[in-house]
Chains A and B, each alone.
Chain A
Amino acid sequence: MSDQQQADLRKDEVEAGTTTGLASPSVDPASDRQNSLWSDAWKQLRRNVLFWIGAVLGLLFLLMALFPGVFSRGVDPRDCSLSRSGQAPSSEHWFGFDQQGCDYLANVVHGARNSLIIGLLAVVVILLMGVVVGALSGFFGGWIDSLLSRVADIFYALPLILGALVVLRSGFLGRGVVAVAIALAAFGWMTAMRLVRSQVIAVKSSDYVAAARAMGASNGRILVRHILPNAVAPVLVYATITIGVLIAAEATLTFLGVGLQRPAISWGLQIDAGQRLLRIAPHLVLFPSLILTMTVMAFVMMGDALRDALDPRQRS
């Protein structure tokens, strides 16, 4: 719609006393403070249903991780009796019992903490490393780029699971939650780095960066104001998906015997234990998988909404 059209429409609206919303762009005349990218993005996020579904689910699992007792209805996950081994779900025990005869709802609820901590901690480390290394590499180019890219290639040559397995087997870090998260992040940051690097290179040569330079913006300002906001959107989406991959990778490491150790409780341990009894007690795989899937979905939905909010062209 041309400006003339818009001006005409506005005039018509005033005369008719109606508002179509077409003539007046969405503004909040109450605020006279300059909106930043993030405050505008937040305004946008608030109106996104997908974001709220993701946020509510995410909050639910976060609360579950923080206060498992509330969600397990006060049942101790370690209060087990072999006489109830593998019992199917009932109205009394919603998720049934596992092979050891422990209440499965309590176990799944208590698993949230470790799985979430590992997923979130590892993804935060991945994001930090990816953004910092990728931005430096893409922005400065030259030998810095060559060096950092080759380092990333070296890490790429080691598969995530194998690399994490070696690190955890070495006993450097121990076998705790933090150790698993760091081991996973150490071999998982390269894709994020490459995403950021390629975005930075693309944005760096854009006209608006040249324009900003011509208007006297400093390197730091260009990097923070122009390049990073345009470069982080894809990596945020990648990160949300990666949370799920990392939680699954934790399960794999656990299955291989180098991740979390019993008596720790995690969804990975539960799925791995449950798959051996898939035919006689399918609920042992079903419930932790379901919760795991919902957790991953919550993050993916929030990531999707965030990407849309950060790109004004996607806004309706």
Chain B
Amino acid sequence: MSTASMSVPSGSARGASAPVLEVQDLRVQFRTGSGLVNAVNGVSYTVSEGETVAILGESGSGKSVSAQAIMGILDMPPAEITSGRIMFEGRDLLTASAEEQRKVRGPGISMIFQDALSSLNPVYSVGFQIGEMFRAHRGTSRKDAKKLAIELMDRVRIPAAAQRVDDYPHQFSGGMRQRVMIAMAIALDPRILIADEPTTALDVTVQAQVMDLLKDLQRDTGMGLVLITHDLGVVNEVADNVAVMYAGRIVERGTVDDVFGNPAHPYTEGLMASIPMLEAKGGRLQPIGGQPPNLSSIPSGCPFHPRCPKRRLGADAPPGRHCAEDVPPLRLVVPGREAACHYSEEVLGV
């Protein structure tokens, strides 16, 4: 079970703790030559200590952009944060000074990226780059930084850490590079770790190892983990709670078991139906029809309605619940479940 975050009342074994990270109504748009692109449209979520929140969505659903906004690495311009608050330990990072923000990044919130090779500087040894975290934030001496780097490499289970500390990123395999990234990210014991598709570039067996490592580290340190992914399997294995994003909005959230077991939004339902099943071997996969939305002209009403098999339009729809006209708010459907669909009850079958 999960902690009591995401305003989801649940009987957690760890007990309810105040959220460490709270994203409130975050909106990000990009000014491009061909108009405004609304990448994130009012996303809110919270992460508590020891909790794993998965942000699930397809490419262009705004899941990475919202993470980049938290880390302050959006290129502004063209990006622009038009509204929202990012509360970390009670302080709004968006209104904090650049220096205050910098001090949070690393010791407070840290991030690992999809492509570990390009996220490591090719001209420095991995040990130097891990040690850099201590030197930059704590002014540790080079000698001590190297010792700490070796310890961290041991902790992320890089074999023969003491021998490999002076090796360069290109001398490591993909999984080991991701471990180096993880070592850098956890160096200063952050309270929140954001993992942006940490296993997408890795093969399946290595994916499992890296996810196991992240889970173990989380258990040891009690950090909150934000897992950004499009991999339903990874979410199912490691996350407590999941938020499903579509067209820059959260369309459904709840505990992983609930959401995966019985979706409350037709999009989630479509995602579940598209998972290849062992029992259905030989059968056809069921894709979600249509195209992902164009973020510079998001459909009116519910952004999913052009692809939704359960939409109600025209005379079919009761007043205020017209799928092409009325934007469905993210609302509590049943205890512990939120969904942004006018007809969630029908989708759920309650």
A37 within 8 A of B: yes
B198 within 8 A of A: no
A225 within 8 A of B: yes
Select from chain B the residue with minimum beta-carbon distance to A225.
Answer: B132
B160-A10 in contact (CB<8A): yes
**Which of B119, B124, B136: most chain A Cβ within 10 A?**
B124
A73 within 8 A of B: no
A263 within 8 A of B: no
* Nearest CB of A to B69, in Å: 11
B146-A33 in contact (CB<8A): yes
A279 within 8 A of B: no
Name the contact of B163 in the complex, choosing from A25, A34, A208, A216 (C-beta under 8 A): A25
A256 within 8 A of B: no
Name the contact of A29 in the complex, choosing from B72, B73, B125, B162 (C-beta under 8 A): B162
A91 within 8 A of B: no
A34-B71 in contact (CB<8A): no
A92 to B168, CA, bound (A): 56
A230 within 8 A of B: yes
Residues facing B in A16-44 (CB within 8 A) are 24-29, 32-37, 40
In the complex, which residues of chain B have a beta carbon less than 8 angstroms from the beta carbon of A229? 123-124
A213 to B72, CA, bound (A): 8
A313 within 8 A of B: yes
A183 to B121, CA, bound (A): 38
In the complex, which residues of chain B have a beta carbon less than 8 angstroms from the beta carbon of A311? 122-123
A207-B127 in contact (CB<8A): no
* Nearest CB of B to A224, in Å: 11
A208-B120 in contact (CB<8A): yes
A141 to B172, CA, bound (A): 34
In the complex, which residues of chain B have a beta carbon less than 8 angstroms from the beta carbon of A290? none
A207-B173 in contact (CB<8A): no
In the complex, which residues of chain B have a beta carbon less than 8 angstroms from the beta carbon of A310? 123
| CB contact under 8 A between A208 and B121, given known A35-B128, A215-B105 | yes
B127-A34 in contact (CB<8A): yes
B102-A7 in contact (CB<8A): no
A27-B118 in contact (CB<8A): no
| CB contact under 8 A between A214 and B73, given known A27-B163, A37-B123, A221-B136 | yes
B124-A37 in contact (CB<8A): yes
A36 to B175, CA, bound (A): 25
A306 to B170, CA, bound (A): 20
A210 within 8 A of B: yes
Name the contact of A214 in the complex, choosing from B103, B110, B128 (C-beta under 8 A): B110
B185 within 8 A of A: yes
A312-B168 in contact (CB<8A): yes
Residues facing A in B73-119 (CB within 8 A) are 73, 75, 102-107, 110-111, 113, 115, 118-119
B103-A33 in contact (CB<8A): no
Name the contact of A34 in the complex, choosing from B118, B149, B159 (C-beta under 8 A): B149
A3-B173 in contact (CB<8A): yes
* Nearest CB of A to B129, in Å: 8
A215-B184 in contact (CB<8A): yes
In the complex, which residues of chain B have a beta carbon less than 8 angstroms from the beta carbon of A34? 127-128, 131, 142-143, 145-146, 149
A218 within 8 A of B: yes
B286 within 8 A of A: no
* Nearest CB of A to B149, in Å: 7
A217 to B103, CA, bound (A): 9
In the complex, which residues of chain A have a beta carbon less than 8 angstroms from the beta carbon of B106? 215-216
* Nearest CB of B to A239, in Å: 18
A230-B121 in contact (CB<8A): yes
Residues facing A in B168-182 (CB within 8 A) are 168, 170-173, 175-176, 181
Select from chain B the residue with minimum beta-carbon distance to A1.
Answer: B173
A157 within 8 A of B: no
In the complex, which residues of chain A have a beta carbon less than 8 angstroms from the beta carbon of B14? none
In the complex, which residues of chain B have a beta carbon less than 8 angstroms from the beta carbon of A230? 121-123
| CB contact under 8 A between A24 and B124, given known A34-B131, A214-B110, A225-B132 | no
B31 within 8 A of A: no
B111-A211 in contact (CB<8A): yes
B121-A40 in contact (CB<8A): no
* Nearest CB of B to A143, in Å: 14
In the complex, which residues of chain A have a beta carbon less than 8 angstroms from the beta carbon of B176? 3
In the complex, which residues of chain A have a beta carbon less than 8 angstroms from the beta carbon of B120? 208, 211
Binding site for A on B (CB under 8 A): 71-73, 75, 102-107, 110-111, 113, 115, 118-125, 127-128, 131-133, 136-137, 142-143, 145-147, 149, 159-160, 162-168, 170-173, 175-176, 181, 184-185
Binding site for B on A (CB under 8 A): 2-3, 7, 10, 24-29, 32-37, 40, 205-208, 210-218, 221, 225-226, 229-230, 310-313
Pairs A-B, 4 closest by C-beta atoms: A216-B106, A216-B105, A34-B142, A207-B118
Please name 10 further chain A to chain B contacts, defined as beta carbons within 8 Å, in addition to the given A214-B110, A218-B136, sorted by A numbering.
Answer: A2-B173, A3-B176, A25-B171, A29-B162, A32-B143, A35-B125, A35-B128, A213-B72, A226-B121, A230-B121
